[in-house]
Amino acid sequence: MGETARTVRASHPFLRYAGRRVITSILLVIGVTLVTFILTNLVPGDPVAASLGQRAAEDPAIVAHFRAEYGLDKPLVVQYFTYLGNLLHGNLGISTTTHDAVAADLAQALPATLEIAIGAIVLSVVIGVVLGTVAAYRRGKVSDHVLRVVSLAGLSVPTFWLALALYYFLYFKLHIAPGSGRLSSDFNTPHTITGLYTIDALLAGQLDTFFDALSHLFLPVLVLTLYTVGLLTRFVRTAVLEILDQDYVRAARAKGLPTRTVVWSYVLRGASIPVLTVVGLAFGSLLSGTVLVESIFSWPGIGSYAYQAASHLDLPGVMGVGLLIGVMYLLVNLIVDLLYGILDPRVRLA
Amino acid sequence: MTRPLLTKDELEPTRLRWRRPRLRLGRWSSPLGITGAAVAVLWIIVAIIAPVIEPHDPLAQNLAILQAPGHGTLMGTDELGRDVFSRVLSGAGVTIPLALLLVVMSVLIGAVLGAIAGFFGRWVDELIMRITDLVMAFPTVILAMVIAAALGASLLNAVLAALIVSWPSYARLTRGLVLALRQSNYVVSGQLLGFSPLKSLWRDIAPNIVGPILVLASLDIGTAILLLSGLSFLGLGAKPPTAEWGSMVSDAIQNFDSWWLGLFPGLAILTIVVAFNFVGDALRDALDPKSNTLRGGGLTL
């Protein structure tokens, strides 16, 4: 033990920092499972009656057998470890709406969600950084005020309503956007490699399928992007304003460097660290957004699954989604923290 | 965090005592803030007098179903022939009081726990902060959804779920502010005079930290409305006959051609949330220009 401690201490400061962050994340993942476990056991309804039906539940022998079989007669701590063991074996229970294993359902739905989430996060980071930088540079001018109003409005729109409105106008009325789902009905699903239809279609060399899948991505990605752009623009603006105040930026401007060089090599480099934090946050709001909008586009991802499970009070389904999204969110924030450590030496030396 | 949580002159602020806020219109005259405040006040009035001004009973069913706006109704009728305009008005009375209650409760719980954590430190601090870590390990809507599903679908359970996910941002903000003030000269001298912890917190610390907390709270009202209507949209809030904006939008999906079913409740949510966000934004500029309250959490729906 002492020897390992010494090797860790002697190792590179970044590794030490990374190790600390990984351990914190693992502890939080355990915390997340604790939350879902407690919530599952909080259900007012009796799981025995729910699973056995009324007649069998009246027979004490059957009930006792059932409780013993599922470990319901054990203390809660033992039940928690059983639950944890099940999770580690990929067993998230059986959904009461689809009657399939929740883990299998989620595995099938995840690529669809990843496809829109990746699209939306990339697009909103690009747009948010550009708009935020413009707003900071034009502080107090008309364009700054316009951007402030637009981003505040973006933060205030109920995403589920925006999705419905855009779907109605762009698809139903104007026929600009394609209909619901991931592909039009006259296309076949490309051979599954990554589960992302656009990439699979490209890998299979089916260009027409690729463009169809891409066009179906348009509306869901647009809705999620509009929401996160508001958050990012405001944050980037604050971060850039702070950097613009720094002496080294003033020096760069004073010595007559072109604005483009100042922005790219001085301002955005300095602002990249606070912006990274908010990308992690934005990813969380994006995942929440998928739960609220996917069902409107009949997009077969975990968001639609969550909507369906929630509206049927399908507890294993809801908990599965909560667990999956919680872990994904922690993972993204861990990556953000690690990037932090790479970008900013002060973080890892602290 | 690269930037220190508080700058040097924030660490040693001039001591504030409780006093009546002076009205300095110069700082307050943000056109956006005033517009927002006007719209918000209008909605609050609507929420109070909705039962009086509704042209029809919001729950009364009628044979004239799915009527487009016009023909004697301002916003048409829904799939059970209920008057959409009356339901939108009635929805204000459902969502707005609950959202305000939610924010007040989160501020109280979060500020008290945060102050305890910051003031007493040690294991109390550790415990409270680890709980906030746990809550913040989830995206807000997701955790609220999971809790609301476990508690069972009802509006009150939705508020409870929203409360559980929203107090930690206040706890963290308050703790940070208290930590920064705890060692300042006037707090220490108060303690040397024999102030009890409670007196010290209330007399010396509280007046100096209400500003940022109020700003976060005002920015959170909009988030609270979005969260509550989102939960209702998922079927985890208001039960069917209740006129609630989120569930009205959710019902509109079934009758896609009837655009008026979803448009108006959605516009209601949008206008009131924009209004409160404008107010919060103006308040931040006026009360708390330096800090970046956004970072504390809150707006991460």
Do A326 and B143 count as a contact with CB atoms less than 8 A apart? yes
Question: What are the chain B neighbours of A156 within 8 Å (beta carbons)?
Answer: 222, 226, 270, 273-274, 277
Do A165 and B263 count as a contact with CB atoms less than 8 A apart? yes
Nearest Cα of chain A lies from the Cα of B185 at a distance, in angstroms, of 28
- Which CATH number fits the domain that encloses residue A327? 1.10.3720.10
Q: What mean pLDDT do residues B13-37 have?
A: 65
Do A321 and B139 count as a contact with CB atoms less than 8 A apart? no
Do A235 and B222 count as a contact with CB atoms less than 8 A apart? no
Nearest Cα of chain B lies from the Cα of A337 at a distance, in angstroms, of 10
Residue-averaged pLDDT of chain A: 82
Do B150 and A165 count as a contact with CB atoms less than 8 A apart? no
Q: Quick check: is A21 in a domain?
A: no
Q: Tell me how crowded residue A110 is: count the other CB atoms within 10 A of its CB.
A: 17
CA atoms B90, B93, B98, B103: torsion sign: positive
- φ, ψ of residue B17 in degrees (nearest 5): -110, 160
Residue A306, chain B, CB below 8 Å: the answer is: yes
Beta bridge partners of B184: none
**Structural domains in chain B, sorted by start:** 22-63+85-290 (1.10.3720.10)
Q: What angle do CA B27, B30, B32 make, to 5 degrees?
A: 155
pLDDT score recorded for residue B112? 92
By the 8 A CB rule, do A290 and A117 touch?
yes
Q: Quick check: is A244 in a domain?
A: yes
Nearest Cα of chain A lies from the Cα of B297 at a distance, in angstroms, of 8
Q: Quick check: is A47 in a domain?
A: no
| pLDDT tens-digit readout, A99-153 | 888 888 888 889 889 989 999 999 999 999 899 888 888 887 888 888 888 888 8
- φ, ψ of residue B80 in degrees (nearest 5): -110, 15
Nearest Cα of chain A lies from the Cα of B245 at a distance, in angstroms, of 10
**Calpha distance B243→A219 (Å, rounded):** 29
- Domain count of chain A? 1
pLDDT score recorded for residue B195? 83
State the number of CA atoms in the 13 A half-sphere of A268 facing the CB: 16
Q: What Cα–Cα distance (Å) separates residue B135 from each residue in B42, B162, B215?
A: 34, 11, 22
Buried b (16+ CB within 10 A) or exposed e, A76-87: eeebbeebeeeb
Do A315 and B229 count as a contact with CB atoms less than 8 A apart? no
Q: Quick check: is A7 in a domain?
A: no
Q: Quick check: is A125 in a domain?
A: yes
Nearest Cα of chain A lies from the Cα of B64 at a distance, in angstroms, of 24
**Chain center to CA of B62:** 36
Helix B31-53 vs helix B84-120: angle between axes, to the nearest 10 degrees? 120
State the pTM of this model.
Answer: 0.84
Closest-CA residue to B173 (of B285, B289, B6)? B6
**Calpha distance A314→A110 (Å, rounded):** 18
Work out the pLDDT band at A2, boundaries 50, 70, 90: very low
pLDDT score recorded for residue A56? 63
Q: Quick check: is A14 in a domain?
A: no
Question: What are the chain A neighbours of B132 within 8 Å (beta carbons)?
Answer: none
For residue A169, what are the domain limits? 102-349
Q: Quick check: is A69 in a domain?
A: no
User: Which among B145, B250, B270 has CB closest to A157?
Assistant: B270
Do B266 and A42 count as a contact with CB atoms less than 8 A apart? no
The size of the A-B interface in CB pairs under 8 A is 168
**Calpha distance B19→B178 (Å, rounded):** 20
Q: Quick check: is A275 in a domain?
A: yes
| pLDDT tens-digit readout, B240-284 | 778 888 888 888 888 877 788 888 899 999 999 999 988 888 887
pLDDT score recorded for residue B27? 52
**Calpha distance B164→A343 (Å, rounded):** 35
Q: Give the contacts of A269 (CB within 8 A, at least 6 positions apart).
A: none
| pLDDT tens-digit readout, B131-183 | 998 888 888 888 898 888 888 888 888 999 999 999 999 998 889 888 888 88
